[in-house]
């Protein structure tokens, strides 16, 4: 079961508590991961600001305006 792609997606790590990478909802890499969850824009921005890496394919930090 795969719901409609959310605006942003954050992939969780093995612990299911630590976030490992932020994606945009339409990123092709999301479809390959089974541990992604949709989040709001604010949550995605928050994750990026907390040093969660941005996906290098969909570049959510650019889309969200979070640039170091
Ligand atoms: Zn991505």
pLDDT tens by residue, 39-58? 888 889 999 998 899 999 99
User: Using CA of residue 53, residue 55, residue 61, residue 67, what is the dihedral sign?
Assistant: positive
15 Cα: distance to centroid of ligand 1 (angstroms) = 20
pTM attached to this predicted model: 0.76
State phi, psi for 13 to the nearest 5 degrees. -85, -170
Q: How far is CA 6 from CA 9, 34, 40, 67, in A?
A: 7, 15, 8, 22
Q: How many other C-beta atoms are found inside a 10 Å radius of the C-beta of residue 39? A: 20
- The residues spanned by each domain of the chain are 8-64
67 Cα: distance to centroid of ligand 1 (angstroms) = 16
pLDDT tens by residue, 1-20? 555 555 788 887 776 677 88
């Amino acid at each position: 079961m795969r719901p409609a792609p959310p605006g942003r997606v954050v992939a969780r790590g093995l612990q299911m508590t630590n976030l490992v990478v932020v994606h945009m909802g339409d990123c092709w890499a999301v479809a390959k991961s089974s541990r992604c969850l949709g989040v709001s824009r604010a949550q995605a921005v928050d994750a990026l600001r907390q040093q969660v890496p941005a996906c290098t394919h969909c570049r959510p930090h650019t889309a969200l305006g979070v640039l170091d």
